[in-house]
Amino acid sequence: MSKLSDFLIPGLISLSVLALVGTELRSHPAEDKSKTHIAVWVGWSGFEYDAFQSVVNDYNKSQSKVFVDLLSITGNSTKTLISTSAGIPPEISLLGAAEIPQFADAGAIEVLDDACKQYGWTQDKYVPGYWDVLQYHGHTMALPATPSTVALHYNTDILKRAGYDKPPETIEEMDKMVDKISKVEDGKVKLAGFLPAEPGWWRWAWGPFFGGRLWDGKSKITMNTPENLQAMKWVESFSKRFGPAQIQSYKSGFGVFASPENAFLADKVAMEVQGVWMHNFIQKYNPKLKWQAAPFPYPKDRPDLKGHTIIEQDIFVLLKNCKHREEAIGFLAYLQKQGPMEKLCLGQKKSSPLRVKSPEFWAKHDNPSIHLFDDMAYSKSCFSTPKIGIWPEYEAEIGNALDEVSLLRKTPEDALKTIDERMQPKLDQYLSRLEKRMRAGK
Give the pLDDT of residue 263: 97
Q: Is residue 420 part of a domain?
A: yes
Q: Is residue 433 part of a domain?
A: no
Using CB atoms within 10 A of its CB, is residue 403 exposed (0-12), middle (13-18) or buried (19+)? Answer: middle
**Percent of the chain scored above 90 by pLDDT?**
90
Give the pLDDT of residue 32: 66
User: 127 and 21 in one domain?
Assistant: yes
Which of 332, 371, 379 is CA-nearest to residue 351? 371
CA distance 331 to 347: 19
Q: Is residue 165 part of a domain?
A: yes
Q: How many CA atoms lie within 13 A of 93 on its CB side?
A: 29
User: 257 and 164 in one domain?
Assistant: yes
- Mean pLDDT throughout 108-123? 97
- Residue 439 banded pLDDT, cuts 50, 70, 90: confident
- Mean pLDDT throughout 313-318? 98
Give the pLDDT of residue 10: 42
Q: Is residue 440 part of a domain?
A: no
Q: Is residue 8 part of a domain?
A: yes
Give the pLDDT of residue 109: 97
Measured over the CA atoms of residue 78, residue 81, residue 83 and residue 86, the dihedral's sign is negative
Phi-psi region of 367 (alpha: psi -120 to 50; beta: other; left: phi over 0): beta
User: 82 and 66 in one domain?
Assistant: yes
User: 302 and 187 in one domain?
Assistant: yes
Q: Is residue 221 part of a domain?
A: yes
Give the pLDDT of residue 440: 81
Domain boundary among 352, 376, 400: 376
Q: What is the DSSP-derived secondary structure letter of residue 303?
A: G
325 and 318 Cβ atoms separated by less than 8 Å:
yes
Q: Is residue 434 part of a domain?
A: no
- Mean pLDDT throughout 186-196? 96
Structural domains of the chain, count: 2
User: 414 and 271 in one domain?
Assistant: yes
User: 108 and 214 in one domain?
Assistant: no
Name which of 24-33, 166-175, 254-263, 380-389 the model is least confident about.
24-33
pTM, full prediction? 0.91
User: 273 and 226 in one domain?
Assistant: yes
Q: Is residue 436 part of a domain?
A: no
Is 169 in a helix, a strand, or coil? Answer: coil
Q: What φ, ψ does residue 316 adopt, rounded to 5°?
A: -100, 130
- Residue 5 banded pLDDT, cuts 50, 70, 90: very low
Give the residue ranges of DSSP H helices in 273-336: 278-285, 325-335
- 3-state DSSP percent of the chain in helix, strand and coil, to 5: 45, 15, 40
> Domain limits at 195?
149-310+388-428
The Cα-based distances of 242 to 183, 185, 249, 376 in angstroms read 10, 11, 11, 32
Give yes or no for residue 20 having a pLDDT over 70.
Answer: no
User: 147 forms bridges with which residues in the sheet?
Assistant: 313
Mean residue pLDDT across the chain: 93
User: 297 and 238 in one domain?
Assistant: yes
142 and 130 Cβ atoms separated by less than 8 Å:
no
pLDDT tens for each residue of 361-400: 999 999 999 999 999 999 999 999 999 999 999 999 999 9
Give the pLDDT of residue 33: 76
User: 100 and 44 in one domain?
Assistant: yes
User: 242 and 118 in one domain?
Assistant: no
CATH of the domain at 165: 3.40.190.10
Give the pLDDT of residue 416: 98
pLDDT tens for each residue of 218-244: 999 999 999 999 999 999 999 999 999
Give yes or no for residue 24 having a pLDDT over 60.
Answer: no
Give the pLDDT of residue 31: 57
The Cα-based distances of 389 to 218, 394, 431 in angstroms read 12, 9, 9
User: 394 and 371 in one domain?
Assistant: no
- Mean pLDDT throughout 154-178? 98
The amino acid sitting at 337 is K
- Residue 12 banded pLDDT, cuts 50, 70, 90: very low
Give yes or no for residue 91 having a pLDDT over 50.
Answer: yes
Domain boundary among 376, 396, 418: 376
User: 208 and 132 in one domain?
Assistant: no
Give the residue ranges of DSSP H helices in 133-196: 156-161, 171-181
Using CB atoms within 10 A of its CB, is residue 235 exposed (0-12), middle (13-18) or buried (19+)? Answer: buried
